[in-house]
Amino acid sequence: MSDLISALRSGLSQGTVLTDPDVTAAYAHDMASFSASGTPAVVVLPRTVEEVQHVLRTATALRVPVVPQGARTGLSGGANAGDGWIVLSLAKMDRILEIDPVERIAVVEPGVVNAALSRAVAEQGLSYPPDPSSWETCTIGGNIGTGAGGLCCVKYGVTAEYVLGLDVVLADGRLLTTGRRTAKGVAGYDLTRLFVGSEGTLGVVVKAVLALKPAPPQHLALAAEFPSAAAAGAAVCSIMASGHVPSLLELMDGTTVRAVNKLAKMGLPEETGALLLAAFDTPDPAADLAALGELCLAAGATDVVPAQDAAESDLLLQARRLSLTALETLSSATMIDDVCVPRSRLGEMLDGVAAVAEKYGLTIGVCAHAGDGNTHPVVCFDAHDPEESRRARESFEEIMALGLSLGGTITGEHGVGLLKKEWLARELGPTGLELQRGLKAVFDPLGLLNPGKLF
């Protein structure tokens, strides 16, 4: 231990190496339930690329595992440390290095908070669309590590579609530059996309070149109330098949709606089976919403309420952003799933989750990026009750099995981490798993980068 600390400090600035047990314990894990973590040996907060290289060279020389971290808002245990590991927090590398309105790119360090980037580019008439629910606290490096999504993915896509290039420190300390700054480029294998969603198992991102979009017009939203999840799912299918391109299409089941009302007193319809929120940022959003409202009514909506202005729209969208927080207030602990299914199976997914909740006697609320089929069932349980905790874990597993049976995937945007590694093997199959492990060995032959994650 003393050799490790001395070696790290020899190449790092003062105050960068943290060893106080009370401090290091705070960096031991992310926000996932049922994901084991250990006691890290040290937390390092580098400020430069050279300092990150020193950390990884030291780790390689002494054969010490390293877990890269952002803001630890992850929900799969991907940022959890093991006993004696180095925690490499990129939180202090938080500079926006460049915003180029001609090339429509931003160059940032990994510790930049998503919302801070969004606000900075907005000042130049641009937007960075990926907006996870934790956008006020999550970092770009973490978003890249998990392949994060957000509420606007239905129109604008996910993080992977905006990462043009990366600077990555490899396990042995070498610096790799991938990708480009140009609008087009297909030179060689796409290593940039390989790193997106790799959860710190292949290298440590220290700089990212991100694509930007022109700032869209102000959006306008509506809420459609449905008697059942099946009816809401039918509306989603109708909307997508019609050719409409909403900037947002989100769903909250009745459990989630009631939880948001309890938390924020928002006056949402308490008896609804499902609430669909849609928005357009088109030149004539009111006309587009009217057409979408007709589709909802035809699919069985009992009420359609369009917002009158931007303020009302923001209030509706705030209800959706509060969903996870509201469900967390219902119990001492939650497990947040992240199962993505074909849009045409969305109603079946929600009905299946309701059946799981009844089977295990638990409260399970669902909010979803409906336009993508990406559902977030939230299992609420008493973490101090072993029996209830067991049922929570079993229900979580059954929900993932349900998603796969409907032709879906075990994670749409939260990543695999520790929580879903066994399920990744089931989804990929033996050949896929073998090839993925082979790629890991190419980039990290000693297995020091976030070992035990993914597979």
pLDDT tens-place string over residues 97-126: 999 999 999 999 999 999 999 999 999 999
H-helix or E-strand containing 127? strand 126-127
Read off the pLDDT band of 74 (50, 70, 90): very high
Q: Out of 106-110, 257-261, 318-322, which region has the weakest mean confidence (pLDDT)?
A: 318-322
**220-405 has which CATH code?**
3.40.462.10
Between β-strands 86-89 and 66-69, what pairing exists: parallel, antiparallel or unpaired?
A: parallel
Closest residue by Cα to residue 201 from 177, 173, 171: 171
Say how far apart CA 337 and CA 319 lie, in whole Å.
Answer: 19
C-beta neighbour count of 441 within 10 angstroms: 11
Are residues 68 and 200 in contact, defined by beta-carbon separation less than 8 angstroms?
yes
SS3 of 411, please? coil
Are residues 45 and 18 in contact, defined by beta-carbon separation less than 8 angstroms?
yes
Over 90: is that where the pLDDT of 1 sits? no
Over 90: is that where the pLDDT of 147 sits? yes
**To 5 degrees, how large is the angle CA 346–CA 414–CA 187?**
105
Query: Taking residues 346-358, what's their average pLDDT?
Result: 97
Closest residue by Cα to residue 112 from 8, 209, 15: 209
The listed CATH number (3.30.43.10, 3.40.640.10, 3.40.50.920, 3.60.21.10) that belongs to domain 2-89: 3.30.43.10
Residues near 272 by beta carbon (within 8 Å), at least 6 away in sequence: 225, 226, 227, 254, 257, 302
Say how far apart CA 280 and CA 320 lie, in whole Å.
Answer: 16
Query: Taking residues 271-277, what's their average pLDDT?
Result: 96
Query: Taking residues 300-316, what's their average pLDDT?
Result: 94
Read off the pLDDT band of 412 (50, 70, 90): very high
Q: Which residues of 386-410 are buried (b: 16+ CB within 10 A; e: fewer)?
A: eebbebbbebbebbbbbbeebebbb
Q: Cα–chain-centroid distance for residue 443?
A: 24
Query: Taking residues 318-325, what's their average pLDDT?
Result: 92
Identity at 220, one-letter amino acid code:
L
Over 90: is that where the pLDDT of 334 sits? yes
For 46, the token pair is 């580098």
Angle between helices 386-405 and 346-360 (to 10 degrees): 160
Over 90: is that where the pLDDT of 213 sits? yes
Over 90: is that where the pLDDT of 170 sits? yes
Say how far apart CA 316 and CA 312 lie, in whole Å.
Answer: 6
Read off the pLDDT band of 278 (50, 70, 90): very high
What's the confidence (pLDDT) of residue 373?
Answer: 96
What's the confidence (pLDDT) of residue 133?
Answer: 85
Q: Classify the C-alpha dihedral 132-137-141-142 as positive or negative.
A: negative
Per-domain residue ranges for the chain?
2-89, 96-214, 220-405
Angle between helices 49-62 and 2-9 (to 10 degrees): 150
The percentage of the chain sitting over the pLDDT mark of 70, rounded to a whole number, equals 100
For 209, the token pair is 């070149």
DSSP for residue 44: E
Identity at 217, one-letter amino acid code:
P
DSSP for residue 378: E
**To 5 degrees, how large is the angle CA 297–CA 299–CA 300?**
65
Are residues 74 and 414 in contact, defined by beta-carbon separation less than 8 angstroms?
yes
pTM equals 0.95
Topology classification of domain 96-214:
3.30.465
Residues near 188 by beta carbon (within 8 Å), at least 6 away in sequence: none
Over 90: is that where the pLDDT of 206 sits? yes
Whole-number mean pLDDT of the chain?
Answer: 96
**Measured CA distances, 282 to 218, 220, 321, 372, 391 (Å):** 8, 9, 22, 19, 45
Q: Cα–chain-centroid distance for residue 429?
A: 24
Helical H runs in 380-448? 386-405, 421-443
